[in-house]
Amino acid sequence: MSIDLKLENLDQLFPSGFSQEQIAKAKTLFLKQLAMDAHKFYGGKMQTIPKAGIFGFNWFNVWYTPGVSKISTTIRDDNDTSFDLSNRGNLVAVVSDSTRVLGDGNCTPPGGLGVMEGKAFLMKYLGGVDATALCMDSRNADGEHDPDVIIEFVKRLQPSFGAVNLEDISQPNCYKVLDTLREECDIPVWHDDAQGTGSVTVAGLINALKVAGKEMGNVRIAMLGAGASNTTIARLLIKAGADPQKMVLFDSKGGLHTGRDDLKADPRFYRKWELCQATNPEAYPDMATACKGADVLIALSKPGPDTVKPEWISSMAEKPIVFVCANPVPEIYPYAAKEAGAYIVATGRGDFPNQVNNSMGFPAILKGALTVRARKITDEMAIVAARSLARFAEEKGISPEYITPTMDEAGVFPYEAADVAMQAIKDGVARIDMTRDEAYALAEKDIQYARSLTGDLIKNGYIQQPPAEMIEAAIKFAIAEVS
């Protein structure tokens, strides 16, 4: 078997006699098995390396004692100099209690390390940002997962970081954690499951609607799932021009509407109750009813492939737009959604067209915020990032199979980062001022450096290529499981 290390066309790895359903299942199994073997091979995916050099013995005395004493006292006298004199200005803490890891639920505190290292990996390669995975135990003395424990943890680590990326924190704790830290911290605190997913989904929908010839304010939107992701998507869509009266969300207990006394009575779910008051005036009883005549279906719920029903899509309006973004398996496979009549289908995975995934947002959004030393990331910054992504794709030429940029389009990240930096200045949350050209140049320089560094490490053998046998074994495993 001849193996292409780039793995550019996964469909071709499997027998020609496989059905589309078998190929879709085999790809998921293959990627999971290869991930397991590759993580064992490398021992994770991140390491720490110096960015300063040793040019002779006395450079140890420059980087450490006695020279470094001057750095300590300078920062003591002006804490903001820590952004210039240490790596703090380009360093993000990726914080999680691992209570809601992808579609796998509570994975115990260390169980989130694979995802958090993954966020750090993408931040470095795509955004030129350094990041550290910090999986913590959020249980209090009673053994309950307590949002106040996470809040205290993040507040205390602020002096070492330029920003914090919250990740995989279960609801309702995630709402209080983000909203409290956004207001009480002096550095940006960003919840990527919520704000990141919201931003890239808005970007994808902006262009999907253009391709379909529809207007944001006129379309009916049905949303399956009402966790941190979809509730934030709904909130940002409303800010981007969607009509909340034409929007409906469903959680595991039914539609969100003013009759949901269970949410009204529980102050921990205040974000969901806000949407109960703003959306779904018809109080649709179920998704099947809500989808009839709807223009858009956005699902971030239980992994599929049978969570979204084909008949729901068939009942939608002309040229229906379907976002099925559960990971690791979308709520319905794209081929099945197309067979049911979907005009545009997006998922959270890069092995299908139209990947609507946080990876297009957080590296550049955090880079833009760090570039101007923002104190927070506003909703307006997230909306600007969405419009920036949409504009970048539109300039290349959008279509039903291309509504957002992809991760291999390196130019999108400094482009987006610069727009975010300008919005931070406009919103009054930036510590320093600069032009868009200056912000773009700084982001582009760091991103190119990160990519070149990774390339040189591979070229010089410090990062070894995975053996072909590893990939072959993962392919054979997937084929055997699906056959």
Mean residue pLDDT of the chain comes to 95
Separation CA 368–CA 453 (nearest Å): 21
- pLDDT average, residue stretch 113-128: 97
Neighbours of 56 (CB within 10 A): 8
CB contact at 8 A, 328 and 303: yes
Catalytic residue among 64, 396, 445, 476: 64
| Domain range summary for the chain, segments of one domain joined by + | 59-187, 195-434
Please measure the distance between the N-terminal and C-terminal CA atoms of the chain and give it in whole angstroms: 18
Structure tokens at 273: 């109750």
- Give the per-residue pLDDT at 173: 95
- pLDDT average, residue stretch 449-474: 95
Tell me which amino acid residue 174 is. C
CB contact at 8 A, 177 and 228: no
Topology of the domain covering 59-187: Rossmann fold (3.40.50)
For the question of residue 119 being annotated catalytic, the response is yes
Separation CA 393–CA 84 (nearest Å): 34
For the question of residue 64 being annotated catalytic, the response is yes
- Domain pair 59-187 / 195-434, same fold: yes
- Give the per-residue pLDDT at 141: 96
Catalytic residue among 27, 119, 124, 272: 119
Tell me the per-residue pLDDT of 27-60, one tens digit each, with 9 for 90 and over.
999 999 999 999 999 999 999 999 999 999 999 9
pLDDT over threshold 60, residue 286: yes
Topology of the domain covering 195-434: Rossmann fold (3.40.50)
